[in-house]
Every structure is written in C-alpha cells, then in structure tokens.
C-alpha cells in the first residue's frame, strides 16, 4: 500500500518530534536531577542528540511531501492546509539559515548570556550593550534570510501566529490608558497585605498542598510529574508532561500560584489531540494562548474567593498551627497582594502588564531604529517612571533584569500580556455560558471549566491563529476591556472599597 505525501509527512514529523522530546527530557533532567559535576556529560549528550534531531527535522523527504501538499492548492483537506502552513514556516527556519549563521548565533548566545550574568550584578550596561546590538543585528539578518519584510513582526509571529507589532501596539495603548490610573489607585490605597506572618513553612508540606491543588484542577499524574526546579517551568507533551515548581519557606502562597500556573500550561498540553502529537494539529497555538491557560488557572480561578472557600480550610490544616491568628480576609489579601516593584518576575498580576508594555515599546523602537542601544538605560528609567511611577536605583533592577535579550528572544515579552488579555476574555465567555461555574469551585470541582477549555481551545491544536481562535470562541477579536473589567472587579473592592 502506498502512502500519501500527507501520511509520509505526518510520520516524518512524529519521528523528529520523538527525538526532540528526548532532548527536552534531558533538559528537564538537567534542571531537576542532574548531579552538579555531570553538566559536561549532559552537554555532550545533548550536542550529539541535537545533530540527530536536526537531521530528522530537515529530512529532505519532509520538503518533498510539503511541496506535494502545497501543489494541491485549494484541493488540500483542512488538516493538510493547517499542517503545511506551519510546517513550511518551521522547515524554512531550519533549512534556509546557513550553517555559518546557525553556528555564529549559537556562539553569540553562549557569550552574550555569560556577559549578561556578569553585567547584571555589576549593573554595567555598557558591558552588555555590544552583545545586545549583535543580537539585534542577527535577528534582522535571520528575518532577511527568510525573506521576511519586517524583522520584529517575524519574531512576534514566531511566538503568536498572526499577531503584528501594529496590532499589539493598539491593544497595549488601550490597556495602558486605563491600567496606569488603576494601578495608581490601588498602590495609593492605605490597605496593604501583610506577608510577615508567612514564616517557616516547610517545603515538604508545600509539596503536599501543591500536588493536591494540581490534581484537583485536573492534572493527570499518570501522564506527568510535578518536581522542583530553581525556575519553575512546564515541558514535555500530552503523553508525558513535566512541570516544576519551587518552594519559598517564607511565602508558601508563591509555590501555590507557581504550581497552579504551571498546571495551567500542563492542562493545555495534556488536552492537545494525542494522536496528532508532533504535528501542528497536536501542538499549542503559541505562547500567548499558552500563557492564557496558565494565567486563567493561576489568577481568575486560583485567586478567587470560590477557590479559597474550598482550599482555605485545607491550607490551614496542612500548615497548622502556622496560620492561627491570620484572618480569612488577611489571607485573601495576601493572595491578592498588589504593590510596586521594579522587577517584572516579582510583580503581581495587575502591575505585571505595565512591565510588559514597557518592554514592548522599547523592543519596537529598537527594531524600528528610532532608539539606539546606548540610550536604552535612560529610556527604560523614563518609562518605569511614566508607567509605574518608579524611580530606579540601578540598571540591575532596570534594563539588565531579564535574561531574554541575551539569547536574542525578541517579540516574546508581549505574549505574557496577550495571554492575560485572552485569559480574562475566555473567563467572561465561560461565565456567560455557565453563570454558576464558581459554585463548582467551592466544592473543589473544576471539571466543567476544564471540559470547556478542552473543547474550545485545546482540541484545535494550531488549527487557528491566536486571534482567530479568540474570535471563534468569544465572538470578538482580542480586547483589553475584559482584563480591565476583571482587574477592576477583583482589586477595587479589596483596595478601594
């Protein structure tokens, strides 16, 4: 029996993906289990396997199958159209960049990262600046080699298919207009959360509680694991999902929310069509949609009163007697603590979006050529003042704080805020369909919400681009008004009531 180009393509993609998943597993193991003196060995293993992966992913047969499916034009099936669109982009990225370019980029990534790790503690932007300039130049060269007319849009599309800088700018400007005054109101309020009562919460007990919460929202521990790592992440796929969290003994709520966040990512992975794993029909849409899933579970669900009606008694029981004397209202305020910090990763869900808008505006100007790398620290400080009302003390807590640019990861930051907007938009859509949904949460039952996400988001893989899927599910394009509504409904009564 002869196979069709589509069947051949799917088989080749699945094989490459299986090899890639072993690489990802080695990466997971490196962050979770690897003995400290074994990193060299792991480097050798990963380099060797990377070559095998590259050969599988650039197999000329993939190119031939792809051309044959493209030649079918409109006669191709819907599935074929989805697969060829995304695989063409991925295949070109792997095959059209010269070997010299790829090697140069790998060297630059290593070097720039090492320089950044020194420049940050020294707060020495001048040390890092030439490497950032080189990453921007490389990014522009990459886009040009692929025939992409706009380098920044090319990088945005890598993370969120179909999105552009112009579209994001319109969304962020609308969000900024109402969010800046809202943040001023909340941080100006005399109501403050008190974290001083959360001392000495053993990691072992936090692990127990985190696992319970992850299982309750629907994480399948028979097809995945929850471990600890310095920086929490979720990797793996629908059949074997590896998520990690971390435990801060002086603030156990942070591990609860990091576990819920990663569970949101994991639930998306576990809900993707397993039979199409390794092809665009079994993959997530992009970063923004992925982030919408993690944020929805972490914030809309996990920081809500209904969720804590179910979990507060258990939280107190697991950590008894440490929360004696902390009222329910004080606990709820600590769960929804909002305050200003110059550091993005330490910020709360309200101010977080302003940190992203700042980075987007800077990246956009850098790529447009209207901002020189040398002027970056000053512009960063001015924007921190304008958006957050903060006076920065150093570049370490300003322009040097994030690792992303050292690796040339441009166009990635906006995804976080796009994810926040989509999360709120999905939240109000599901509440419209199921007005009593939060009653379920009070009983610890999240199956209706997960079922809705499975059907409306997860089941489609990459069939629709980010905004197309949002439109399909919610009836309108991405809009910041839902995020603004959510933040107002949750935080104004708490801080300005």
Q: Binders of Zn ion: how many residues, by CB under 5 A?
A: 1
Q: Considering the complex, state which of residue 259 and residue 294 has its C-beta at the smaller distance from Zn ion.
A: 294
Residues 357-386 that bind Zn ion (CB under 5 A): none
Q: How far is the CB of 232 from Zn ion (least distance, A)?
A: 9
Helix (H, G, I), strand (E, B) or coil at 51: helix
Q: How far is the CB of 265 from Zn ion (least distance, A)?
A: 6
Q: How far is the CB of 489 from Zn ion (least distance, A)?
A: 23
Phi then psi for residue 224, to 5 deg, are -175, 170
Other CB atoms within 10 Å distance of the CB of residue 278: 20
**Residue 466 lies near Zn ion (rule: CB under 5 A):** no
Span from 117-125, 134-142, 247-255, 291-299 in contact with Zn ion (CB under 5 A): 291-299
| DSSP character string of 429-482 | HHHHH-TTHHHHHHTT--HHHHHHHHHHTGGGTTSS-HHHHHHHHHSS---THH
Q: Considering the complex, state which of residue 294 and residue 300 has its C-beta at the smaller distance from Zn ion.
A: 294
**Residue 353 lies near Zn ion (rule: CB under 5 A):** no
β-bridge mates for residue 224, sequence order? 241
Helices (H), 38-164: 39-57, 60-71, 78-95, 99-122, 125-145, 151-159
Selected catalytic residue, list 80, 142, 262, 269 = 262
Q: How far is the CB of 24 from Zn ion (least distance, A)?
A: 16
Span from 273-281, 292-300, 313-321, 377-385 in contact with Zn ion (CB under 5 A): 292-300
Q: Is the peptide bond before 321 cis (omega within 30 degrees of 0)?
A: yes
Q: How far is the CB of 287 from Zn ion (least distance, A)?
A: 8
Q: Considering the complex, state which of residue 201 and residue 297 has its C-beta at the smaller distance from Zn ion.
A: 297
Pattern of binders to Zn ion over 194-223, x per CB under 5 A?
------------------------------
Concerning whether 262 is annotated as a catalytic residue, the answer is yes
- Region of 230 please: left (phi>0), alpha (psi -120 to 50) or beta: alpha
Span from 45-53, 105-113, 294-302, 343-351 in contact with Zn ion (CB under 5 A): 294-302
CA dist 301 to 32, 243, 261, 490, Å? 28, 19, 10, 12
Sheet holding 240-245, edge to edge: 224-228, 240-245, 234-237
Q: Is the Cα dihedral 116, 419, 237, 281 positive or negative?
A: negative
Provide the greatest CA pair distance for the chain: 75
Q: How far is the CB of 238 from Zn ion (least distance, A)?
A: 17
Q: Which residue has the tokens 């709360």?
A: 348
Q: How far is the CB of 127 from Zn ion (least distance, A)?
A: 30
Q: Strands, E, within 233-349: which ranges?
A: 234-237, 240-245
**Options 294, 347, 351, 415; binder of Zn ion; rule CB under 5 A:** 294
Q: Considering the complex, state which of residue 294 and residue 336 has its C-beta at the smaller distance from Zn ion.
A: 294
Q: Considering the complex, state which of residue 294 and residue 401 has its C-beta at the smaller distance from Zn ion.
A: 294
Q: Considering the complex, state which of residue 294 and residue 351 has its C-beta at the smaller distance from Zn ion.
A: 294
Span from 118-126, 216-224, 276-284, 289-297 in contact with Zn ion (CB under 5 A): 289-297
Cβ-proximal residue to Zn ion, closest one: 294
Span from 76-84, 91-99, 252-260, 293-301 in contact with Zn ion (CB under 5 A): 293-301
CA distance linking residue 218 with residue 124, whole number of Å: 45
Residues 27-86 that bind Zn ion (CB under 5 A): none
CA dist 309 to 251, 296, 331, 461, Å? 20, 18, 12, 34
Q: Considering the complex, state which of residue 135 and residue 293 has its C-beta at the smaller distance from Zn ion.
A: 293
Active-site residues, by number, are 262
- The contact set with Zn ion (CB under 5 A) reads 294
């Amino acid at each position: 029996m002869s196979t069709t180009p589509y069947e051949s393509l799917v088989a080749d993609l699945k094989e490459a993906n299986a090899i890639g998943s072993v690489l990802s597993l080695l990466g997971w193991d490196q962050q979770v289990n690897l003995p400290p003196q074994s990193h060299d060995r792991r480097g050798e293993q990963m380099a060797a396997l990377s070559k095998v992966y590259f050969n599988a992913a650039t197999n000329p047969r993939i190119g031939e199958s792809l051309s044959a499916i493209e030649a079918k034009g409109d006669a191709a099936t819907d599935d074929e159209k989805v697969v060829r669109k995304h695989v063409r982009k991925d295949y070109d990225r792997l095959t059209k960049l010269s070997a010299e370019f790829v090697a140069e980029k790998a060297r630059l990534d290593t070097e720039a990262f090492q320089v950044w790790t020194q420049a940050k503690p020294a707060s020495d932007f001048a040390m890092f600046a030439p490497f950032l300039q080189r990453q921007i130049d490389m990014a522009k060269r990459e886009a040009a080699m692929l025939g992409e007319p706009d380098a920044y849009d090319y990088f945005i599309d890598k993370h969120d298919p179909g999105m552009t800088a112009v579209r994001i700018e319109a969304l962020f400007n609308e969000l900024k207009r109402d969010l800046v005054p809202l943040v001023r109101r909340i941080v100006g309020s005399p109501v403050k959360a008190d974290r001083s009562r959360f001392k000495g919460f053993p990691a072992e007990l936090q692990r127990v509680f985190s696992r319970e919460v992850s299982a309750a929202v629907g994480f399948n521990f028979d097809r995945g694991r929850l471990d600890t790592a310095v920086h929490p992440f979720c990797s793996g796929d629908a059949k074997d999902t590896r998520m990690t969290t971390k435990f801060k003994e002086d603030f156990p709520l942070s591990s609860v929310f990091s576990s819920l966040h990663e569970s949101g990512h994991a639930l998306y992975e576990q809900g993707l069509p397993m039979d199409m794993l390794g092809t665009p029909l079994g993959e997530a849409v992009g970063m923004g949609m992925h982030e919408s899933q993690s944020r929805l579970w972490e914030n809309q669900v996990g920081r809500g009163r209904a969720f804590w009606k179910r979990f507060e008694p258990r939280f107190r029981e697991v950590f008894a007697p440490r929360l004696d004397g902390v009222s329910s209202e004080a606990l709820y305020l600590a769960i929804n603590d909002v305050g200003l910090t110059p550091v993005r990763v330490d910020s709360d869900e309200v101010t977080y979006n302003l940190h992203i808008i700042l980075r987007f505006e800077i990246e956009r100007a850098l790529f447009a050529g209207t901002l020189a790398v040398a002027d970056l620290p000053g512009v960063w400080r001015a924007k921190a003042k304008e958006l957050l009302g903060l006076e920065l003390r150093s570049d370490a807590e300003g322009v040097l704080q994030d690792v992303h640019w050292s690796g040339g990861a441009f166009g990635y930051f906006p995804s976080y805020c796009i994810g926040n907007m989509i999360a709120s938009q999905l939240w109000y859509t599901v509440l419209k369909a199921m007005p009593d949904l939060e009653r379920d949460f009070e009983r610890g039952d999240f199956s209706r919400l997960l079922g809705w996400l499975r059907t409306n988001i997860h089941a489609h893989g990459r069939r629709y681009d980010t905004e197309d899927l949002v439109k399909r599910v919610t009836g309108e394009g991405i809009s910041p008004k839902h995020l603004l509504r959510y933040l107002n409904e949750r935080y104004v009564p708490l801080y300005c009531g």
